[in-house]
Amino acid sequence: MADALWTEWDPYVGFLDNWFQFWNTQKVSAPGVTMEPVTGAAVSPTATVLGYRVAVMFKRYTITNGGTSWPAPDEDAAMVNIHFANYTGGALDATWTTGDFTSCETNLLAMFNSLKADLMPRHLIDSLRWYSYGPGVASGPPTRITPVGIAGTASGSCLPYQCATVLSLFTGLPRRRGRIYWPGLPVAGVTTDGQLIAAYVSTFATAWQTFLSAQHTAQIPVIVYDRVHGAIQSLTAGKVDSIVDIQRRRRPIVNARPPTTFPAS
C-alpha cells in the first residue's frame, strides 16, 4: 500500500519541485516606479486614511427566507466593493464632505438604474455602506449608510446565484488590477454556448464607462487600492468579456428540494 501511495504522489512532487525552482529564479522585486501616493506605512504604525470605499449590498430571495420577500440577509447574497480617491486642486484630499458622498451616490444610482433591466427581480440593490481605507486603517462600522432599494427587472429564469459578470479594472502597473463581480445574471443574457450575449456585454460596459467617466469629471475617480504597498493606483482601462465567472461564496446554502441519494455500488 505504501509503495502504491508514493507511486501516485511522485508526479506531484516533481511538479512542486519545478514550481519552487521557477519561483526562486523568476521572482522579481517590487516595481521600480513611484505609486500615488506612497505612504510611510512600512515604517510607521500610524493609520493613514486615503479615501473611502463603498460596499454595494445586495439582498436576494432564497429558500431560507421563503423566496417571497426581502428580509435581513440570511445567506451571503452579494457585496461589491468600489474604492474612490478624492482630489482637490489636483492633490489627494482625504477629508470628504457630505457633498462628496452624495456626488458618488448620484452617479452610482444612475448606473444601477441603467443595469436593472439585466438584473433578475429576485436580486435587490439594498444599500450603500461607506468605509474608510488606507494603510493601518482597521475595518470598523460604516461611516455612512444610504438605502437604495433598486430591484432587477429582467424577465425569465436566473442563472445560479454564484454566476457573475466580471469587470476588470487595469492600472499602469503589471499584475495590479481590480475586479468587480456583478450578480443576478438572467438566463436570457447568455447564448446557447453559455457565454454572455453581445448586447448584454455592451450594455454592462457602457454603464460602467459612463459611471467611471462621471467620477473622473467630479475629481473623485474610482481607483485600485494596493494594500501591500499602501498606495492607490489610477485606472487606465476597463474590460468586460463574455465569459461568466463564479463567486462560490454566493451559492445557496439550502437545497430547494431533498437531495437524491444513491448507492455507491
Tens of pLDDT, residues 77-117 = 899 999 999 999 989 999 999 999 999 999 999 999 999 99
C-alpha cell at 150: 433598486
Q: What is the pLDDT of residue 197?
A: 96
Least confident piece of the model among 138-147, 202-211, 215-224, 249-258: 249-258
pLDDT of 30 above 70 = no
**pTM for the model:** 0.78
Predicted local confidence at residue 187, as pLDDT = 95
Average pLDDT over residues 197-201: 96
Backbone φ and ψ for 166, nearest 5 degrees, come out as -110, 130
CA 131 to CA 138: how far, in whole Å? 10
Confidence at residue 66, expressed as pLDDT on a 0 to 100 scale = 67
3-state secondary structure (DSSP) of residue 216: helix
Average pLDDT over all residues of the chain:
82
pLDDT confidence tier of residue 194, bands split at 50, 70 and 90: very high
Whole-angstrom distance, CA of residue 182 vs CA of residue 225: 19
d(CA 16, CA 22): 10
Angle between helices 98-115 and 198-217 (to 10 degrees): 170
**Residue 137 falls inside a structural domain:** yes
pLDDT of residue 72: 59
Residue of higher predicted confidence among 67 and 22: 67
**Residue 252, class by beta-carbon neighbours within 10 Å (0-12 exposed, 13-18 middle, 19+ buried)?**
middle
**Domain count across the chain:** 1
Average pLDDT over residues 189-205: 95
Model pLDDT, residue 73? 55
Share of the chain above pLDDT 70, in %: 77
3-state secondary structure of 162: coil
Residue 69: which pLDDT band, with cuts at 50, 70 and 90?
Answer: low
pLDDT of residue 172: 81
Does a structural domain hold residue 134?
yes
- 32, pLDDT greater than 60: no
User: What integer pLDDT is reported at residue 258 of this predicted model?
Assistant: 80
In this prediction, residues 145-169 reach a mean pLDDT of 95
Range of the domain at 200: 51-250
Q: Give per-residue burial for 179-200: e unless 16+ CB within 10 Å, then b.
A: ebbbbbbbeebbeeeeebeeeb
